[in-house]
Amino acid sequence: MRLATVLLATACAVLSTAAIAQEAPTTAMTAMAADTPEKALSGATFTLPKAWTLETKPGLVLALPPEPDTHIAIVGVASAADAKEAVAKAWALYRPDANRKFKLMTARPGRNGWDDRSVIDYETSPNEKAAVQAIAFHSGTQWTVLILDGTDATAEKRGAGIGLILQSLRPAGYHRESFAGKTAHPLDPARVEAMRAFVQTAIQQLGVPGASIALIDHDKVVYEGGVGVRTLGSPEPVDAHTLFMVASNTKGMSTLLLAELADQGKLAWDQPVSQVYPAFRLGDAQTTQKVLMKNLVCACTGLPRKDFDWIFGTRRTTPASTTFTQLAATQPTSGFGEVFQYNNLMASAAGFIGGHLVFPDQEIGAAYDGAMQKMVFDPLGMHETTFNMARALAADHASPHGDDVDGKPSLARMDFNYAVGPYRPAGGAWSSAHDMAKYVQDELDLGKLPDGRQLVSAKNLLARRAPGVSTGEDGYYGMGLEVDTTWGVPVIHHGGSMAGYKTDWIALPEAGVGAVILTNSDDGRMLLRPFMRRLLEVLYDGKLEATGDVAAAAARNQAEIAKTRERLTVPAASAPADELAAAYTSPELGHITVHREGGEVVFDFGLWRSRMASRKNDDGTLSFISIDPTNDGFEFVAATRAGKRALVIRDGQHEYVYTEIT
Query: Which residues lie closer than 8 Å to 627 by C-beta, 6 or more apart?
Result: 404, 405, 568, 570, 610, 611, 612, 613
CA distance 474 to 253: 24
pLDDT in tens, 307-339: 999 999 999 999 999 999 999 999 998 888 899
Cα(152)–Cα(70) distance, integer angstroms = 9
Q: Could you tell me the fold of the domain covering 574-660?
A: Lipocalin (2.40.128)
CATH number of 17-168: 3.40.1000
Q: What is the pTM of this model?
A: 0.94
Determine the length of the chain.
662
Q: CA dist 471 to 224, 532, 533, Å?
A: 31, 17, 18
How do residues 128-172 score in pLDDT, each as one tens digit? 999 999 999 999 989 999 999 999 999 999 999 999 999 999 999
Of 505, 535, 349, 520, nearest to 442 by C-alpha is: 505
What does the alpha-carbon distance between residue 148 and residue 119 come to, in Å, rounded to a whole number? 11
- Say how far apart CA 294 and CA 77 lie, in whole Å: 46
Predicted pLDDT at 5: 36
- Strands, E assignment, 160-263: 210-217, 221-228, 244-245
Nearest to 130 by CA among 638, 619, 526: 619
Average pLDDT, the chain: 94
- Give the pLDDT band (50/70/90) at residue 29: low
Cα–Cα distance measured from residue 25 to residue 474, given in angstroms and rounded to the nearest whole number: 30
3-12, 90-99, 160-169, range with the lowest pLDDT: 3-12
In 181-247, where do the E strands start and end?
210-217, 221-228, 244-245
Read off the DSSP letter of residue 484: E
Q: Which one-letter DSSP state was computed for residue 160?
A: H
**Whole-angstrom distance, CA of residue 97 vs CA of residue 62:** 17
- Inter-residue contact 371 to 358 (CB < 8 Å): yes
Among the listed residues 331, 283, 249, the one whose alpha carbon sits nearest the alpha carbon of residue 496: 249
Domain boundaries, the chain: 17-168, 189-541+555-559, 574-660
- Using H for helix, E for strand and C for coil, what is the string for 416-475? HHHHHHHHHHHCCCEECHHHHHHHHHHHHCCCECCCCCECCCHHHHHHCCCCCCEEECCE
Supply the CATH classification number for the domain 189-541+555-559. Answer: 3.40.710.10
- Per DSSP, the three-state class of 216 is strand
Q: Note whether 288 and 272 are within 8 A (CB).
A: no
Fold agreement (17-168, 574-660): no
Percent of the chain with pLDDT over 90: 92
pLDDT at 385: 98
DSSP string over 31-88: PPSS-EEEE-TTS-EEEEPTT-EEEEETTEEEEE-SSTT-EEEEEEES--SSHHHHHH
CA–CA dist 566, 8 (Å, integer) = 23
Cβ atoms < 10 Å from Cβ of 178: 14
The phi and psi torsions of 107 (rounded to 5 degrees) equal -95, 145
- pLDDT, position 32: 82
Instruction: Determine phi and psi for 296, rounding to 5 degrees.
Output: -65, -25
Instruction: Indicate if the alpha-carbon torsion angle 242, 246, 252, 254 is positive or negative.
Output: positive
Residues 498-556: tens digit of each pLDDT:
999 999 999 999 999 999 999 999 999 999 999 999 999 999 999 999 999 999 999 99
Long-range CB pairs of 36-42, under 8 A, 24+ apart, other chains included: 38/63, 39/172, 40/74, 40/75, 40/76, 40/144, 40/169, 41/74, 41/75, 41/76, 42/74, 42/75, 42/76, 42/77, 42/142, 42/143, 42/144
Q: Who's near 353: CB < 8 A, 6+ residues apart?
A: 273, 276, 277, 280, 293, 296
